[in-house]
Amino acid sequence: MPLLRRRKPRKKRCRHDSKELEARGLELRIPEGGELVLLNQFLILGALLFSLGVYGLLVRRNAVMVLLSIELMLNAVNVNLVAFESFLRNAGAGGQIFAIFVITVAAAEVGIGLAIILLIFRNRTSANVDELDLMKW
């Protein structure tokens, strides 16, 4: 969790100070034969995707779209996981494995979620989440 959060100035956080990383037993790794791609770029992509997902989750009325937004958020997290994994030595294959887990869970979740939505739609001829407020006071 708090890999990069330590009592350090904020500006330093994204600089990939190799010494600091080495002190923690981690090492910055540069992919071979490729242009150096900064970790920041992946993180920004992930943040954008996540925000998009949050936006969709909060504002879309159609339940299918809400589910889609959740997928978006999950995948944003996947991007972050994979990015961190590939930029850090000694991280093992943890990022990739976690991403696969997330994909698996997401698949299960979509399976169940879509089934629920389908049944709701059959019963009420609508998948509008605003109308699904039976579980209130």
Partner 1 sequence: MNTFTNLVLAAAEEAEHSIEYGDGGIFAEWAWLLVIVPFVAFVAIVFFGKRLPRQGGEIAVGAMAFVFIYAAILFVINTVEGVVFEHSVEVARIGSFAIEWGWVVDGLSSMMYLVIGLLAFLIFTYALGYMEGDVRPTWFFAAFTLFAGSMLLLVSAPNLIQLIVGWEGVGLASYLLIGHWWEDKENSSAGMKAFYVNKVADIGLVIGAFVLAIPVGSFRISDVLDAVVGNSGDIEAVAFWGAALLFIGAMGKSAQFPLHVWLPDAMAGPTPVSALMHAATMVTAGVYLLGRMYPLYAEMAAEARVPVLIIGTITLIIAGLLAVVQDDIKKVLAYSTVSQLGYMVAAMGAGAYTAGLFHLWTHAFFKGLLFLGAGSVIHSVHSNNMSDMGGLRKPMPVTFGTFVAGTLALAGIFPLAGFFSKDEILAAFNYEGYTAVLVIGVVGAFVTAFYMARTVFLTFYGTYKGHGRPHESPRVMTMPMVVLAGLAVVGGWVNIPGLYTGFTDWVGTRAQTFAEHHAESFDWPVVAIGLTAAFLGIVAGYFLYYRDEETQQARDSFRIPLLWPLLEHKYYLDDLYMNGIVTPIKGPIARFVDWTNSYVLDGIVNAAGFVTRALARFVYQDLDQRGIDLALNGVAYSTDDLAGRTRLLQTGKVQQYAGATVIGAVLLVIGFVVFG
- Interface of this chain with partner 1, residues 71 to 130, rule: CB under 8 A: 129-130
52 forms part of the interface with partner 1 (CB under 8 A): no
Collapse the DSSP code of 128 into the 3-class scheme (helix H, G, I; strand E, B; otherwise coil) and give the result: strand
Q: What are residue 91's phi and psi, to 5 degrees?
A: -85, 0
Rounded to whole angstroms, how far apart are CA atoms 81 and 4?
Answer: 14
Shortest spacing between CB 71 and partner 1, in angstroms: 14
* Helix orientation angle between 63-87 and 94-124, rounded to the nearest 10 degrees: 180
Binds partner 1 by CB under 8 A, chosen from 59, 105, 108, 114: 59
- CA-derived radius of gyration, the chain: 20
Shortest spacing between CB 45 and partner 1, in angstroms: 18
Binds partner 1 by CB under 8 A, chosen from 21, 66, 79, 83: 66
Residue type, 133: D
58 forms part of the interface with partner 1 (CB under 8 A): yes
Shortest spacing between CB 93 and partner 1, in angstroms: 28
Shortest spacing between CB 117 and partner 1, in angstroms: 12
Residue type, 109: E
90 Cβ contact list (under 8 Å, min separation 6): 25, 26, 27
69 Cβ contact list (under 8 Å, min separation 6): 52, 53, 54, 55, 56, 57, 60
The span of 23-31, 58-66, 81-89, 98-106 binding partner 1 (CB under 8 A) equals 58-66
Residues 1-20: x/- map of binding to partner 1 (CB under 8 A)? ----x---------------
Binding site residues, partner 1, CB under 8 A? 5, 54, 57-59, 66, 129-130, 132-137
